[in-house]
Amino acid sequence: MKTYQTQPNDSFASIAKKFNIKDENFLQTFHNLNCSESDVIYNELPSGTSILIPEDPQFLSENSESDLEQDCMNDHNFEEEAQSDHEYQENNEKEIDNSANEKSEEIKESENSSSEHDGKYFVIQKGMVQCNQGFKFPKLKVTSHQKHYWNDADGQADYLAVTEDDLQFDPPAQPFGQCKLKPSSGGYLPCTYAPVGKWTKTYDKVKVMGKCCVTELSELMCSTGGKITIFKHGQQSELGKRNVDNADSKEQQVYNPVVDFEEFKEEINGEDPFEVE
């Protein structure tokens, strides 16, 4: 993260373009989430203000990343042409070693990222969310599909799986009540929820119609500066015998890999040792 001193006629849009950031809303939200409360910017951008600039690749545009890769390739080719045959061979050997190390690191990172959802629940429509700048806890509203249900053979709407594209809440107007980032003499002003992008930290190994599923770890950013997280996933913590019979073993194994669900089902439905034939 770095800072930028704003100049006259600067705007979030022009600064985002200058630093190859995907969208001006990403820049404004990033600044508001990471700056002190006195430095939060709502509308106009004053000249001479220090703006926090993200350096994480997820905030950068694809063009900037491809340009950076191209520049690196050109520099690399220039250095190779200037080397002798002996140096060229040594550098190639080093590049092979570095490439192997990088792939090893990527595998480790992939394993670490996939494990963070272990033991966590998928979120369903009757789940509830919270905003760190709000006061109320609205329910989710699934609009991305009407196809997949978690732990409900009857297909009740409350059990629809929430995906990364489900950005609406119930109630739709002022879902979080008042906003702490909008103080006034008469109290906090009403929430004006406006999502920035999709849900993040979703589970990309399970998808519904090509969309990643939301879990208890998922997060969503609001353009005003609030961070929205899961308050309740909505699923029942305990399973009755009827639920066990209707549950899909493969699905259960995905979101609760610690439990051998087939063995658990046999225990629940096993013969009573005291039953008289």
Q: Are residues 133 and 191 in the same domain?
A: yes
Q: For residues 15-44, give the mean pLDDT.
A: 82
Residue 110 counted as domain residue: no
Q: How many CB atoms lie within 10 A of CB 174?
A: 17
Alpha-carbon distance 202 to 116, whole Å? 10
Residue 40 counted as domain residue: yes
Amino acid at 246: N
Q: Which pLDDT value is given to residue 274?
A: 39
Residues 32-44: b if buried by 16+ CB within 10 A, e if exposed: bbebeeeeebeee
Residue 107 counted as domain residue: no
Q: Would you call 152 helix, strand, or coil by DSSP?
A: coil
Report the number of distinct structural domains present in the chain: 3
Q: How far is CA 82 from the centre of its chain?
A: 45
Q: Are residues 145 and 205 in the same domain?
A: yes
Residue 94's pLDDT band (cuts 50, 70, 90): low
Provide the residue range defining the domain that includes 255.
Answer: 238-269
Q: Are residues 132 and 205 in the same domain?
A: yes
Q: Which pLDDT value is given to residue 275?
A: 39
C-alpha distances in angstroms, 249 versus 23, 150, 207?
A: 42, 12, 17
Phi, psi (5° rounding) for residue 250? -65, -40
Residue 49 counted as domain residue: yes
Q: Are residues 219 and 135 in the same domain?
A: yes
Amino acid at 232: K
Residue 9's pLDDT band (cuts 50, 70, 90): confident
Q: Which pLDDT value is given to residue 171?
A: 94
Alpha-carbon distance 65 to 19, whole Å? 11
Alpha-carbon distance 21 to 4, whole Å? 13
Residue-wise pLDDT tens digits, 201-239: 999 888 999 999 999 999 999 999 999 999 999 986 555
Model pTM score: 0.48
CATH of the domain at 18: 3.10.350.10
Q: Which pLDDT value is given to residue 262?
A: 78
Q: Are residues 225 and 183 in the same domain?
A: yes
Q: Are residues 141 and 202 in the same domain?
A: yes
Q: How many CB atoms lie within 10 A of CB 270?
A: 8
Q: Which pLDDT value is given to residue 59?
A: 72
Residue 165 counted as domain residue: yes
Residue 55 counted as domain residue: yes
Q: Are residues 209 and 148 in the same domain?
A: yes
Closest alpha carbon to 225 in 201, 191, 186, 199: 191
Residue 85 counted as domain residue: no
Q: Are residues 143 and 199 in the same domain?
A: yes
Residue 38 counted as domain residue: yes
Q: Is the pLDDT of residue 71 over 90?
A: no
Q: Is the pLDDT of residue 249 over 50?
A: yes
